[in-house]
Amino acid sequence: MKANLEDIALAAGVSKMTVSRVLRGGTGFSAETRDRVMTIAQRMGYVPNRLAAAFGSDQASTLVGMCVPRLTSGLFGHVLDGVDRALSRLGYQLMIGANNHSAEEEEAWIRQVIAWRPAGFILSGRIHTPGTVDLLREATGPVVEIWDLTTSPIDLSVGFSHVDCGAEMAQFLLRRGRRRAGYVGALARADVMGAARLEGFQSTLARAGHPLVASEVLHDMPGFYAGYYGLETLLSRQPRLDVVYFHNDEMAIGGLAYAQSRGIRVPEDLGIAGWGGMEAASILPRRLTTTIVPTTAIGKAAAEALVARLKGEGGPEVTVIPTRLEPGETG
CA pair distance 165, 199, nearest whole angstrom? 10
Output the pLDDT for position 60: 63
Q: Say yes or no: do domains 5-48 and 162-292 share a fold.
A: no
- Is 21:28 a contact under the CB 8 Å cutoff? yes
Residue 225 parent element (H or E): helix 224-237
Output the pLDDT for position 21: 80
Residue 306 pLDDT class (50, 70, 90 cuts): very high
Output the pLDDT for position 91: 87
Q: What are the residue ranges spanned by the domains of the chain?
A: 5-48, 63-160+295-323, 162-292
CA pair distance 7, 19, nearest whole angstrom? 10
Q: Which CATH superfamily is domain 162-292 in?
A: Response regulator (3.40.50.2300)
Is 50 exceeded by the pLDDT of residue 58?
A: no
Q: Is 3.90.226.10 the CATH classification of the domain at 5-48?
A: no
Question: Taking the model in full, what pTM does it have?
Answer: 0.82
CA pair distance 65, 329, nearest whole angstrom? 40
CA pair distance 144, 126, nearest whole angstrom? 10
CATH number, domain 63-160+295-323, options 3.60.21.10, 3.40.50.10440, 3.40.190.290, 3.40.50.2300: 3.40.50.2300
Is 70 exceeded by the pLDDT of residue 2?
A: no
C-alpha angle 261-264-269 in degrees, rounded to nearest 5? 165
Query: CB neighbours of 120 closer than 8 A, spacing ≥ 6?
Result: 64, 65, 141, 142, 143, 144, 306, 309, 310
Average pLDDT, the chain: 91
The model's pLDDT over 108-143, given as tens digits with 9 standing for 90+, comes to: 999 999 878 899 999 999 999 999 999 998 887 899
- Is 195:224 a contact under the CB 8 Å cutoff? no
CA pair distance 222, 242, nearest whole angstrom? 22
